[in-house]
Amino acid sequence: MSISLILNNLTNPTLLFFLLGIIASSIKSDLEIPAPTVKFISLYLLFSIGFKGGQELQHSNFSAEIIYSILFGLLIATLIPIYCFYILKRQLSISNAAAIAACYGSVSAITFVSAVSFLETQSLHSDGHMIAVMALMEFPAIVVGVMLIRKFDQSEETTTSISKVVKHAFSNASVIMILGSLIIGMISDSKQAEGIKPFTTDIFKGFLAIFLLEMGMVTAKRFKTFIDSGIGIMIFALVVPLINGIVVAYTSQFITDSIANRFIFSILAASASYIAVPAAMRFAAPNADPGLYIPMALGFTFPLNITIGMPIYYYIISF
């Protein structure tokens, strides 16, 4: 793999702001981004990606590849939490193992956004239907996680139905925004959509940089609280995502010939949810410890993917 690919990624301004956030938190700087601002930026990023994807779908012909892509995404989101659970339950409680497995079977919307930015530096663009694939991959892992808890943990309360858990996850702000924006983009008039293009496109990377600055500060704080969890959990958070991403980077060639789409599949398989799934798990598995699975996803897996993970997956696909 060319070292220049990694260096180009590491010198990407958006990623450098992520590193700045880590440094600021490490030296206990009083740098702070107000919570309402962070929430607005995160919703904006999801809106921008969803709307642009909807516009692309509006001009795309419905094909068998779209169906295969959706099915492939659902398969990934179902299989990953199953094998992750059997690895984790050897050293963790059933509830914690299932919650972590669900996080790693689901996806990170912000990692997806970062992957889109990475593709733009390579002058590549994924198809609009990959946004729908990302949104649909949220739910299978949640369902699998709840079913595993019901099967293996008799001490966990299981009165909550799976349908209620999925409904709770579906009503999550990030899911509503990405799916809603996708649909609006599909039905919006193209000429009128040009009127908001400066907002949806021109300022996107600037907002992403500020959001990753905040993610860097949060990562540093979560990382410190996670150190005492044990080396095995740390290894899992670093190795398993790489394996997932590499395997999907190879197998996705049987679904699509698009380098950009294959790359998105890889990053979705390698990412871990730290928003939608944790919210659902708190509702469905109250005995699971958020102080364990959120730092794993955000403090280890997220930085891994946006620094060296993406260049590795891209190299495998392009080789």
Residue 122, number of CB atoms within 10 A of its CB: 15
Question: For the chain, which residues score pLDDT lower than 70?
Answer: 1-2, 154-162, 165-166, 168-170, 172, 223-229
Question: Using CA atoms, how far apart are residues 284 and 76, in angstroms rounded to an integer?
Answer: 22
pLDDT for 251 equals 97
Start-to-end CA span in the chain (Å): 9
- Cα 160 to Cα 75, 135, 147, 167: the distances in Å are 25, 23, 11, 11
In a domain, 198, yes or no: yes
Looking at residue 199, what is its pLDDT? 84
Which CATH number covers residue 301?
Answer: 1.20.1530.20
pLDDT digits 0-9 by tens, 133-175: 888 888 888 889 888 888 887 665 555 666 776 676 667 677 7
- Is residue 24, in this structure, part of any structural domain at all? no
Q: DSSP secondary structure string, 267-294?
A: HHHH---SSHHHHHHHHH-TTS-HHHHH
> Domain span at residue 285?
3-15+33-318
Residue 21 lies in a domain: no
Contacts of 184 (CB under 8 A, 6+ apart): 50, 51, 54
In a domain, 45, yes or no: yes
**All residues at 6 or more sequence positions from 267 whose CB lies less than 8 Å from its CB, including other chains:** 111, 112, 115, 245, 305, 309, 310, 313
Q: pLDDT tens digits for 220-256? A: 877 666 666 678 888 999 999 999 999 999 999 999 9
Residues 6+ apart with CB under 8 A from 310: 9, 114, 115, 118, 263, 267
Average predicted confidence (pLDDT) for the chain: 86
Q: What is the pTM of this model?
A: 0.83
Tokens 């999801």 — which residue? 46
- Sign, CA dihedral 29-31-35-40, equals negative
Whether 186 maps to a domain, the answer reads: yes
Examine residue 27 and state whether it is found in any structural domain, yes or no: no
Based on the structure, what is the number of domains in the chain?
Answer: 1
Tell me the two tokens of residue 189. Answer: 């008039």
Tell me if 145 sits within 8 A of 102, measured CB to CB.
yes
* Dihedral, 106, 165, 293, 139 alpha carbons, nearest 10: 0
252 part of a folded domain: yes
